[in-house]
Amino acid sequence: MKTELGIHLGMSARTARRNMGLTQAVVAERLGVAREVYARLERGHMLPSLHTLKGLCTVLRVPPHELLALDASIETPPGRKRPPPTPRVESTALVDLRKTLRGLSRSDLRLLNALAATLPASPPRRHAAPEPDIKNSLKSA
């Protein structure tokens, strides 16, 4: 089961492991999995469970967003330079939302994240066409 995500996760794990100077056997032992299982993960043949992913992030000292390619396109191989991010102009509502989220506890944030994950992705909003000015069109007729 090779997927883009699996391949990226495996390549990221391999790069982090090599940078730390660890062998597959050492990482597998620290994770509590067989070396063969860890090797399959590095080759992109399987995705880890959440428990294993958490352990992998801890052992390799890599944040989960890097392993899961949440901060960039999955196609970007690890170790390659990514183009600099384009500056974003944030709306006032988004800034207010961030301030509110920073004030929440971890358990509240987890609950909010779980709730958001269940929501369907909404289609992009379309701006409504301006309504015709009926009063002015009647006066000119």
* Secondary structure class of 96 (helix, strand, coil): helix
Helices (DSSP H) in the chain: which residue ranges?
4-20, 24-31, 35-42, 50-60, 64-67, 92-102, 106-118, 134-140
pLDDT tens per residue, the chain (141 residues)?
Answer: 577 888 889 999 999 999 999 999 999 999 999 999 999 999 999 999 999 999 999 999 988 888 887 765 545 555 555 556 666 677 888 788 888 888 888 888 888 888 878 877 665 555 555 555 555 555 555
Return the residue matching tokens 């987890």: 110
| Tokens standing for residue 101 | 């989220």
Give Cβ neighbours of residue 29 (< 8 Å, ≥ 6 apart): 35
In the DSSP assignment, the letter for residue 49 is -
Q: So what's the pLDDT on residue 56?
A: 94
Cα–Cα dist 129/58, whole Å = 52
Cα-atom radius of gyration of the chain, to the nearest Å?
Answer: 23
Q: So what's the pLDDT on residue 100?
A: 86
Between helix 35-42 and helix 4-20 the angle, nearest 10°, is: 120
Give Cβ neighbours of residue 65 (< 8 Å, ≥ 6 apart): 71
Cα–Cα dist 53/68, whole Å = 10
Q: So what's the pLDDT on residue 79?
A: 56
